[in-house]
Structure formats: C-alpha cells, structure tokens
C-alpha cells in the first residue's frame, strides 16, 4: 500500500508511537495499524456499509494530530503570509501560519502560540498584558530576546483556557466571547471526510501587533519550524488575487484565507454563534 512504502523510505525512529486518538464510529468493526510516527498513523479499517449489507476490509484511514491554521492581518491592514516550498507541492507556494495542537491544549491556545513562534505577533489584548509585565523589568532584560520570548510565552500559557469537547468527544475551538475581540474562530473541519487526516481549526487574527522585537517583519527569526520560509505582506486585493490564481496550494490554506475575507469584507459572523 502507498502509505506503507512511504514510511519505509524515512529515517525517523521506527518505534515512534502516534500520540493522537483512534477514530471509530458505529460502522467501525476493526482497526489495523500499518505504520505510524508520533504525528500520523496509517490504518486499515474494517467498515460496515451505510445500509449494513456489506463489509469493507480495505478502508485506508490516516490518523493525524489535529492542527490550526491562522490568517494574520496587521493593525495596518496587511496580511502576513509565508512564501515557502512544501514536500507534496511542486514549486513555490504561499501559506498562513499553522501547526499542530499539543496534547491537552485548546486549539485557540495553539493558534496564539503558533503566531508568536512563527511571527512574533499577537493581539492588542495580549500586548497590554505584555507591557504591564515588562514595565516592571529593567532595560537589560528587555534587550534579551530569549528571556522576552520566554516571558511572553508564559503570559500566553497563563491566559490559556482548558480544552472542551462536543457530544462526539471531538475538541472544540470556540473562543470565549469576552476574552479577545481581535481573534475570530472560523470553524473546525475534517481534512478528508472518509479518510481522516485529523481536524483543522481555522482562525483569523485581526489588528495583529508585535509582541517581540522585529515581530512580523522579514528580520524576525521564528522558532518551532525547521522549514525555510520568507515573510510577505499582502493587501486585501493581493490576497483576493492569490486566491483566484490558486497560489495558496493547499485546500485548508485556501479555505482559511477565503473565510477570513468573507468575515472582513462581507461581515460573515464568527463560527457557530460567536460574536466577532
């Protein structure tokens, strides 16, 4: 099978154990694991058909740790976008901020952490919290990027909320309405409805401001991502053009940008009854 041969060519440790959960529904008879890493696992499910008349014993299913994608728009109205190259996409592509949801982490906390790690940006509300904290510290401390990053990360963690789950046991991504009006939840989506791929939580951060030195600029050196990428600043019109030209070459990225423009330009409300 395709997922078997792909894993055989990798040099990662063969004893890695997938750290996510196993998907089962009322139609699942059995699950057999073919290959796995700590972030993904290739399974073969035995599944009963919807009418209960057939059994499929070759249902390929990909488990993947849940993820977040975040479109970031600065206080000046520019969208912060990455230019990069991806393994499964030929040539150049453009992307929003993204990453995996850590164990025990609310997806919104993951989104805030990823924006800080990759861009050094955050919301105006978080900046107020940071300024209050750094106002108590001397100038020498403020000139130490590593210590500043650690303190800002601690503030984000302190302000984090506990994960919540829906009736099916799937983590929710809602933002408490009074916590931070610059953050907009755009919804939770299954990556592939019959083949899994985890759930992706989409967010928009409006009026983003630097929380760390050089945040959001080409001079900022991000953490938590080994891939080479450069920062671009696009106008609303340019993002619209990129969408129309399919330059955000992953469907999740495209959906995140499209939903963000619908919210910004057309007043589409935040997902699922939230105010934004």
- What's the whole-model pTM score? 0.90
pLDDT one-digit tens code per residue, 105-158:
999 999 999 999 999 999 999 999 888 877 655 566 556 777 888 888 888 888
pLDDT one-digit tens code per residue, 226-265:
678 899 999 999 999 999 999 999 999 999 999 999 999 9
User: Which of the residue ranges 102-106, 132-136, 218-222 has the most confident prediction, judged by mean pLDDT?
Assistant: 102-106
Residue 165 CA to residue 23 CA, distance in Å, equals: 15
CB-based contact 77:88 (threshold 8 Å): no
Buried b vs exposed e over 57-93: b needs ≥16 C-beta within 10 Å? eebebbbbbbbbbbbbbbeeebbbbbeeeeeeeeeeb
Q: Does pLDDT of 274 surpass 80?
A: no
Q: Give the residue from 257, 267, 147 showing the smallest Cα distance to 203.
A: 257
């Amino acid at each position: 099978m395709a997922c078997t041969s792909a894993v055989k060519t990798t040099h990662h440790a063969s004893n890695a154990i997938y750290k996510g959960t196993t998907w089962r529904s009322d139609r699942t008879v059995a699950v057999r694991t073919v290959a796995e890493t700590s972030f993904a696992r290739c399974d073969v499910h035995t599944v009963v058909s919807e009418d209960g008349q057939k059994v499929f014993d070759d249902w390929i299913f990909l488990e993947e740790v849940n993820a977040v994608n975040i479109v970031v728009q600065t206080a000046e109205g520019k969208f912060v976008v990455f230019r990069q190259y991806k393994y499964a996409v030929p040539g150049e592509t453009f992307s929003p901020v993204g990453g995996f949801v850590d164990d025990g982490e609310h997806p919104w906390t993951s989104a805030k952490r990823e924006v800080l790690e990759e861009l050094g940006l955050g919301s105006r509300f978080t900046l107020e919290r940071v300024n209050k904290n750094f106002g108590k510290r001397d100038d020498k401390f403020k000139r130490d990027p590593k210590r500043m990053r650690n303190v800002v990360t601690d503030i984000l963690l302190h302000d984090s909320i506990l994960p919540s789950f829906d009736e099916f046991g799937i983590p929710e991504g809602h933002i408490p309405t009074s916590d931070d009006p610059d953050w907009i939840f755009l919804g939770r989506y299954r990556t592939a409805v019959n083949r899994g791929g985890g759930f992706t939580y989409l967010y928009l951060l409006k009026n983003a401001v630097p929380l760390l030195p050089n945040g959001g600029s080409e001079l900022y050196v991000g953490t938590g991502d080994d891939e080479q990428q450069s920062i671009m600043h696009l106008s609303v019109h340019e993002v619209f053009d990129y969408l129309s030209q399919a330059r955000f070459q992953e469907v999740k990225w495209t959906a995140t940008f499209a939903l963000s423009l619908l919210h910004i330009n057309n007043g589409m409300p935040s997902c699922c009854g939230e105010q934004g």
